[in-house]
Amino acid sequence: MLASLLPALRELDLPLRLQLWDGQVFDLTPAPHVTLILKDPSLLGELSRPSLDNLGAAYVEGRLDLSGPLDEVIRIGDRISQALGEDRPVEHQPWAHDRHTDAEAISYHYDLSNDFYRLWLDPDMVYSCAYFETGTEDLQQAQQAKLRHLCRKLRLKPGERLLDVGCGWGGLARFAAREFGVEVFGITLSQAQLELGRQRVIDEGLQDRVRLELLDYRDLPQDESFDKVVSVGMFEHVGHANLPLYCQRLFGAVRPGGLVLNHGITARHLDGRPVGHGAGEFIGRFVFPHGELPHLVNICADISESGLEVVDVESLRPHYARTLELWSQRLDERLDEARGLIPERALRIWRVYLAGCAYGFSRGWVNLHQILAGKPRADDSLELPWSRADIYRD
């Protein structure tokens, strides 16, 4: 197998060294800067039919080790998978999502360790695409800019009631209360997020304006009691089958004349066929169990069918590539500390996921859309400014 694999890999002209379980070393080009260390012979089979899923899985399981810059490792893994792998059509069965499966999937990802997330997120622990107004900002500046961008799109006014669906560690809730003078009710399904989020509300003395609860979106109050609703990085967990229900819950929570802003990852293709040579399979297996991405068109259809009117859509795809690149770099700078906080297997998963998603967003395998919608009043009226100028004021 090695005899046929090596010439095929050499043709790709990759700066790669292969190191075998028995100590043999093969440089595929002079001075390679990435090394794949194959720790057992069965890996030759995977390398002959490579995908980002099976290569990633071998790394997670400790059968494959890597050295070299992780972004370069991912690029090389993708080149090998494109050239030597075959993109088999994957029959995607939509996941059955219920309260129990969703709670389990959320706990798996978000209850991993608050201290681990704190290592590489910005100080407010915002866990979603940042907003780079010029592209020169650091992570913290870009996350603050994102929070401001969301609040301005929602045209928040002092005294209004804001619902934050999937509030994470409460970064947006605290920002909106502090900077825009609104009252915020935030929900998450992660106990670890809730505990730290509540503590941070107390630390900032915002208890009278920010309330965070452990609650499933299905159980949101449906009494139209919120002026505005925001959901950031959450609908990816809902599942295709439940997106209409999710949109109905947002509709039922907001008052007539109010606004709803949904910010999340969208699929490249309308029919959800796989992209990224196994990258999606890796994410589903190891990172976000039961996660499902709708295309922009499909989520806009569900939003519209709920009775909301879509009024503005913005793609932030390059912004998420940059955010993920920064998260990945920050984690790689603090690997020793991370090893003390989570198991090695999880650390390998999160390293591949962050670097791999940075790559995937940069390639357009997935997108990120902010979708602003309004709930018309009984007489069909819905007031909005004539232009977006108010969003961009200094």
Ligand X SMILES: C[S@@+](CC[C@H](N)C(=O)[O-])C[C@H]1O[C@@H](n2cnc3c(N)ncnc32)[C@H](O)[C@@H]1O
Binding site for ligand X (CB under 6 A): 102, 106, 110, 126-128, 166-168, 171, 187-190, 193, 216-217, 232-234, 237
Min dist CB 121 to ligand X, Å, is 8
Q: Which two tokens stand for residue 235?
A: 């609908």
- Residue number with CB closer to ligand X (303 or 368): 368
Contacts 24+ apart (CB under 8 A), 117-124: 117/169, 119/330, 119/331, 119/334, 119/337, 119/338, 119/341, 120/327, 120/330, 120/331, 120/334, 120/354, 121/327, 124/169, 124/171, 124/174, 124/175
- Residue number with CB closer to ligand X (263 or 351): 263
Q: Identify the CA nearest to 280 among candidates 269, 128, 296.
A: 269
Beta bridge partners of 211: 185
Separation between Cα atoms, residue 156 and residue 147, nearest integer Å: 12
Q: Residues with Cβ < 8 Å from 84, sequence gap 6 or more?
A: 8, 9, 47, 48, 49, 50
Q: Identify the CA nearest to 51 among candidates 83, 22, 24, 23.
A: 83
Alpha carbons within 13 angstroms on the beta-carbon side of residue 213 total 12
Length of the chain: 394
CA dihedral of residues 290, 261, 167, 116 (deg, nearest 10): 70
Min dist CB 254 to ligand X, Å, is 16
Helix axes 171-180, 139-153, angle to 10 degrees: 60
Residue found under tokens 């700078």: 333
CA dihedral of residues 152, 153, 158, 162 (deg, nearest 10): -130
> In degrees, to the nearest 5, what angle opens at C-alpha 67 toward C-alphas 63 and 72?
110
Min dist CB 70 to ligand X, Å, is 21
- Residue number with CB closer to ligand X (46 or 302): 302
Q: Which residues form the catalytic set?
A: 357
- Residue number with CB closer to ligand X (73 or 147): 147
Q: Are 241 and 297 in contact, with CB atoms under 8 Å apart?
A: no
- Residue number with CB closer to ligand X (57 or 265): 265
Min dist CB 96 to ligand X, Å, is 14
